[in-house]
């Protein structure tokens, strides 16, 4: 697939780039994408939820109600889950939600995500993005020029650039990522992928 290379003003440079078919032109594997997104979201969970069970409640152990004749369930001390303020039955405990996913599945998921975006025409390639200083208005102007200001845009750079990252950090819908850190969730969550010319070779190198 060939795409025109744009400048940050949104105009064509007269050059084109060929997106490698083994990364941007495969048949998307929806199951691999699902597993990769599921793993990413699971890894974001802290898993620190905790509720006290009956044995962890500090209350009197005196039998507050008689065994029968109350018309309700039999209950003993005030730690009973049947009483307001008592322990919770089978409550949540701290746990680790992360799970393992094979490297080949993760790579297939990323390639499937890139291919899906390429098929839907949601990828554009721009020249190297460089700002003299961190300025959000310059980043916003670039997105307007590229006509993606009203979309969830993910800008991918070949290396970390502090000026570019800080310029896009406060944008509510846009994000900036290094090519080596791009994951399936970030790709699928974006409505428009803005790839710099130099990031394509990095993507192929890391995810091919």
- Domain containing 66 equals 51-91
Residue owning tokens 């309700």: 72
In a domain, 125, yes or no: yes
Residues 86 and 108 occupy one common structural domain = no
Whether residue 7 has pLDDT greater than 70: yes
Residues 168 and 86 occupy one common structural domain = no
Residues 138 and 57 occupy one common structural domain = no
Residues 198 and 140 occupy one common structural domain = yes
Residues 82 and 179 occupy one common structural domain = no
The confidence score (pLDDT) of residue 45 equals 95
Over range 46-59, report the average pLDDT: 93
The confidence score (pLDDT) of residue 56 equals 92
Residue 33: band (very low, low, confident or very high) from pLDDT cuts 50, 70, 90: very high
Tell me the pLDDT of the chain averaged across its residues: 92
> Quick one: angle between helices 199-207 and 103-119, nearest 10?
140
């Amino acid at each position: 697939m060939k795409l025109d290379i744009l400048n940050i003003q949104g105009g064509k440079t007269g050059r084109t780039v060929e997106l490698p078919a083994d990364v941007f032109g495969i048949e998307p594997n929806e199951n691999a994408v699902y597993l990769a997104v599921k793993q990413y979201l699971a890894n974001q969970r802290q898993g620190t939820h905790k509720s006290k069970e009956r044995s962890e409640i500090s209350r009197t152990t005196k039998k507050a109600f008689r065994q029968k004749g109350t018309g309700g369930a039999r209950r003993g001390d005030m730690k009973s889950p049947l009483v307001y303020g008592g322990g919770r039955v089978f409550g949540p405990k701290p746990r680790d939600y992360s799970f393992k996913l094979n490297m080949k599945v993760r790579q297939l998921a990323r390639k499937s995500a890139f291919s899906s975006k390429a098929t839907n025409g949601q990828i554009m390639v721009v020249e190297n993005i460089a700002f003299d200083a961190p300025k959000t208005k310059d980043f916003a102007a670039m997105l307007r020029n590229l006509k993606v200001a009203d979309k969830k845009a993910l800008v991918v750079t070949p290396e970390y650039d502090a000026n570019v990252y800080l310029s896009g950090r406060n944008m509510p819908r846009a994000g900036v990522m290094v090519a080596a850190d791009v994951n399936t969730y970030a790709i699928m969550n974006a409505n428009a992928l803005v790839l710099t010319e130099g990031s394509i070779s990095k993507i192929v190198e890391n995810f091919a």
